[in-house]
Structures are given as C-alpha cells and as structure tokens.
Structure 1
Amino acid sequence: MKFSTYKIKHPGLARFVQYILFNYSDNADQATVITSYANNNICLGIAKEKELIGGDRNIKRFHCKGGVQSYLSGLYSLPHHFQVDGIFDEICIDFTPLGYYHFFKEPLKTYVFGENLLHELWGAEGTAFFETIFESVELKKRGSMIEKFLLSRIIEFENPFLEQCLYYMHSDKQFSLTSITKALQCSEKRISRTFQRYFDLLPKDYMKMIRFRKALWMLQKERISFTGIAHECNYYDQSHFIKEIRLFTGMTPRQLHSSLHCIEDNVLVSLQS
C-alpha cells in the first residue's frame, strides 16, 4: 500500500481543506488494514471501482463496484479500521470542521455510506470530474485539478459563535470549557447544543480529541518521555495520559508508538499487512 499527500496552495481554500490524501496499490495480491484514529477533520472519500461498507467492531471493508464511489467520514473517538484488498485507488479530501460546512449543507454524521454523495454535492458534473481525475496517473496533477475544482464549489457559511468556540479550543493557551464560557459570556449548554447540532459530538469530547492528536504527534517522535508528553499536552499526570491513549486507541503509548506510520508529516495511521 502506498500513500501520498497534496498540500493545498490557495490560502482561501487552505482554511477549509487540511490536505488531500491519495491511497493506492497496484498489487492485486496485497491485503492491508489501515487504522485511523480520532481526528478533527472530516473526510470525503472517493474511490475508483471500490465501495466502502460498514461492519462490526469499527471494521470497514472496500468491495468491488463499478464506477466512482464515495463516502463521508465525520468525527469519531474510537479507532477505525479499513480493510483494503488488491488493486486500489482512493482520494481522501480532508476538510476542517468549519470547512465541511463550506461545501456541505447537511448536518454532519459519523459516517455516510451507500449514497451518491458526489452527485448530491455537485451533480453529474462532480461525478464526471472525478472520473477524469482517476484517468490521471500523476498525483500532483490530480491534487492541483481537485484544488481548482473545490475553489469553484465553495458555498457561504457563517456562524461566528461556532467559529469563536473552535478558536479557543484550538488555542495554544489550552482553554478549559469553563474558561471558554466565560470568554464568550455564554452557558456550557449553548456550546453543547451547538456542537451536537453541527458535529454530532459533545464539546468536551472534541477537546479531548484535540489533546489526543497533539499527544499522538509527539508520541511518534523519538526520545520524548511519556511524562514530558503528559505535561506538554496538559494531562493531569502520566497515568492520565496513558489512560486516555488507551481510551482512544485500545493500546498503551508504547504499543501505539511502535505501530504508527507517518505519511509525509501530514497523516498518522497504523498499518497491518
């Protein structure tokens, strides 16, 4: 299994799209399980002649199906496993939480399967566009073409309150939910209702997810102690850090560290062949 990422160049689009990820294999005998972890992005997956099917224990499998197939992956806490067999060609467009609503009008769900998302989003033109994209072998060219296409498809979305909430949650000062309510002069219930409406997630869970991602990126580096990560990521202590890593991954930090695969400093997954 091979991977490559495309970094968005246009600053206006970079606010809404984190990156474009290409997952591909030309080995008909290869079988790979890709494990992704809780993240603050929303993925529109587009695959050539493969349809993603949900399953038990958070395992999802790609089955052969003609044409261009698509699915939507929202915010989730538990690790998700994607089983890929044989020839494979997939494009993942990863939106920021607010960026999602600059392309989609429907409230976010954890997963959307079995629907023609491309047609619903962009009509027959959208499906035809990605059919053309899959004809191109050169990945940078694919990325550039998709970037131009997305720039022409941005829709208006304004929610200053939600934007302010996310600003404080992603601040390096590591605001607590209580301090955010004071800064915004609102109740915790209002923030909770807003997050449940737009992200199908509680704000406390979203903030834990942000902390986990910061710890995950630190964990994949060498020579950083668990105590140091716990302190830097604002866990109570090392025990709290280990407990939360187990919660999000089902592994100890040491087990997770040895399993992580970094894709061009943009994506962290675990792989099993």
Structure 2
Amino acid sequence: MRIYQPREELRPYVRYYWVLKGDEPFGILTFPIGCPQIIFHKKTPLYIPELDKSQSQFTISGQVNFPAHIQSDGSLEMIVAVFYPHTIGMFIDTLPSAFYNLEISGYDIENRQVNDVVQKIFDCENNKDCIDILEGFLLSKIRPSLNINRIGMSVNRLLRVPSTSINALADKACLSKRQYERVFRETVGMNPKEYARVVQFQKALWMMQRGESNYAGIAAECGYSDQSHFIRNFKELSGYTPEALIKHCAPYSDLFTNPA
C-alpha cells in the first residue's frame, strides 16, 4: 500500500489517499472507521459478504456500524480517497445520510461533472496522476458552510472527549438538540449518538494498538460507563471481544492513526 497526502488547500477536508495493488486473493476484517471514502477500482472490485455484493468500479463508501469481511480475487488495483467525517457531501452534492450503511455506486448519484472526472481517472495509467486529476476536481468544489464548520468542531470535540453529551455539542453549535441531530446526520451520515459509539470504539482500538491492555482503563478513557459496556460495544462493532480480537489480528485504529 502507498499513502499520498493531500495538497495543503485540501487538508481540512481530505485526510489522505491510498493506493493498493495485489495479485493474490485475500480476505480481511474491516471495522467502522468513522470516515467516508471514495474508491476507484481499476481491476476487480472487492466483495463484501455482509452486503452480499461487490463494490462498484466507482464506489462511495458511507458511514457504517458493522464489521465486514472484504474479499479480493487477486486482481486488485484501487485508489481510495479518505475524507474527514463531515466533508464528503460538499464534493459530491449529496447528503452522506443517503448512503448510511451502504456501499453505493458513485454513478448512481447522477452527477455529470463527477462522472467526467471518474472517466479521466480510469483513462489515466499513472496512479499519482489519477490523484492529481481527483484533486483538481476537489479543489473546484470547496465551499465551506456554517454547518460544515459547526459539525467539524463537534467531531473534533468528540475525538478529544468521546463522552461529550449531545446536549453539550448542540449548545456549542448554537442549535437546539433536534436541529443539531438533523444537521449532524445530514453532514456526517449517521446520528451523533451512533457516531460517538464509533469514535469510542476507534479510540479503544488505538489504545490497544499502542499496547494498552487494562480494559477498565480503556473503558474509562474512552467514555464508557464501565468495562462491560466497553466490551459489549466493542463486540458489536468488531465481531470480537477485545481479547479475542488481539488473538485474531493486530488492533489498528484508522480514525486515530494518521499514516505518513
């Protein structure tokens, strides 16, 4: 896998890009990462058993609340743009809530400008040049709004303190709780309480990734009410208890790790 950092103007909106090529079949367990992605498959798309479908050549991957065992048949070349939790809607003119718990074909949003860019990417042989084409499009779509800024501040608050209450987040955003929940869901793609669960889970993964094994300490640091709450939530989002996951694979937090 190769990681590419976005140009400076896009860094408030795009976390990073990654490119992966492979010629051996594989299967891998993935978790809710809290960040939507746009995926370009130049060869065979990945298969997702939990959804009983393969990704499209051009896929928009939304916020999810379940683990998935993705599979490759060994003919793989993919380019992925990973966005911040609250920014993808600005670039595709579609509310992220429309693809909650889904892997949708980007062609289904019927955006001619997007489709033209996608075709240029598939016609381009050099993957770094493909990313440059994508970035040219993304730069043309930057339109910060009050709601994007509000929700961005909320997401950052949750990353720092996952136990922050919805009422406190709504007050900080100068919105009623009902307004805040609607704006958050439309901007991020899931409701704030559910997204906070993903953040707690990802922070727990990050602590385990760094070698922490005191589950009571992890529960307290991540804002769980107790150790049992932590283990129950962890299993719902990963399919494993923390102890069982460590035996299955090395814990890794996509949300709290910034690949260089």
More helix per residue:
2
Aligned partners of 1:169 and 1:207 also within 8 Å: yes
Match of 1:39 among 27, 30, 33: 33
| Structure 2 equivalent of residue 66 of structure 1 | none
Give distance in 2, aligned partners of 1:256 and 1:181: 35
**Displacement, 1:70?**
0.6
Residues 104, 125 of structure 1: CA spacing in aligned structure 2 closer, same or farther, 3 A cutoff? closer
Asked if residue 149 in structure 1 is aligned to residue 136 in structure 2, the reply is yes
Give distance in 1, aligned partners of 2:173 and 2:144: 20
| Structure 2 equivalent of residue 270 of structure 1 | none
Percent identity, aligned pairs only? 23
**Displacement, 1:7?**
2.5
Aligned partners of 2:206 and 2:251 also within 8 Å: no
Give distance in 2, aligned partners of 1:149 and 1:118: 20
Partner SS for 1:40 = coil
Superposed, which structure 2 residues align to 1:1-273 within 5 Å? 3-8=1-6, 10-25=7-22, 27=23, 30-51=24-45, 55=49, 57-58=50-51, 60-61=53-54, 69-108=57-96, 109-110=99-100, 111-116=102-107, 120-132=112-124, 135-136=125-126, 141-142=128-129, 145=132, 148-160=135-147, 161-172=150-161, 174-258=163-247, 259-260=249-250, 262=252, 266=258
Aligned partners of 2:26 and 2:71 also within 8 Å: yes
Partner SS for 1:201 = coil
**Displacement, 1:42?**
0.7
**Displacement, 1:81?**
2.4
Normalising to structure 1: TM-score of the pair? Answer: 0.78
Partner SS for 1:102 = helix
Give distance in 2, aligned partners of 1:49 and 1:118: 22
| Structure 2 residue runs without a partner (length 5+) | none
Q: Deviations over 1:231-261 (max 9, x none)?
A: 2212122222111101111101012223136
**Displacement, 1:98?**
2.6
Aligned-residue CA RMSD (Å): 3.0
Normalising to structure 2: TM-score of the pair? Answer: 0.81
Partner SS for 1:222 = coil
Give distance in 1, aligned partners of 2:237 and 2:174: 31
Give distance in 1, aligned partners of 2:213 and 2:88: 34
| Structure 1 residue runs without a partner (length 5+) | 64-68, 268-273
Number of corresponding residues: 250
Q: Deviations over 1:139-165 (max 9, x none)?
A: 6x4586357435543331413443443
Q: Deviations over 1:157-182 (max 9, x none)?
A: 41344344334333448522122234
Aligned partners of 2:235 and 2:241 also within 8 Å: yes
